Amino acid sequence: MSQIIRNLDYVILLCQHLCPMRAFYHGKLGFPLYHERAGWIALRVGAVLLTLRPGGRPYDGSKVGKHAGIRLAFRVTPA
């Protein structure tokens, strides 16, 4: 049985420098802070959380050149 995905829950943007990214998304674009922890900043963008954090965790996958990595998360109903 296939799951129906109705919403994008959050986006994780992997970045090397959190402070400039926070300044851009929160300071310049005005996205409100949802929560901020060491190495993890979440901003509210409508119904979606935009999360900024450094990459390098084993499950992050490989990096492509100097480009930022992006992860998408979906909420699904348990079977």
Tokens of 19: 């402070």
Confidence of residue 1 (pLDDT cuts 50, 70, 90): very low
Tokens of 14: 């992997």
**pLDDT tens-digit series, residues 54-66:** 877 666 666 666 6
pLDDT of residue 41: 94
pLDDT of residue 26: 96
pLDDT of residue 67: 62
Neighbour-count burial for 29-55, b at 16+ CB within 10 Å, e otherwise: eebeeeeeeeeebbbeeeeebbbbbeb
For the chain, report the end-to-end CA distance as a whole number of angstroms: 8
**pLDDT tens-digit series, residues 68-78:** 566 677 777 77
**Angle at the Cα of 49 from the Cα atoms of 48 and 53, rounded to 5 degrees:** 150
Q: Tell me which of 3.10.180.10, 3.40.50.300, 3.40.50.720, 3.90.245.10 is the CATH number of domain 8-61+68-74.
A: 3.10.180.10
- pLDDT of 51 above 70: yes
Domain limits, the chain: 8-61+68-74
**pLDDT tens-digit series, residues 18-43:** 899 999 999 999 999 999 998 889 99
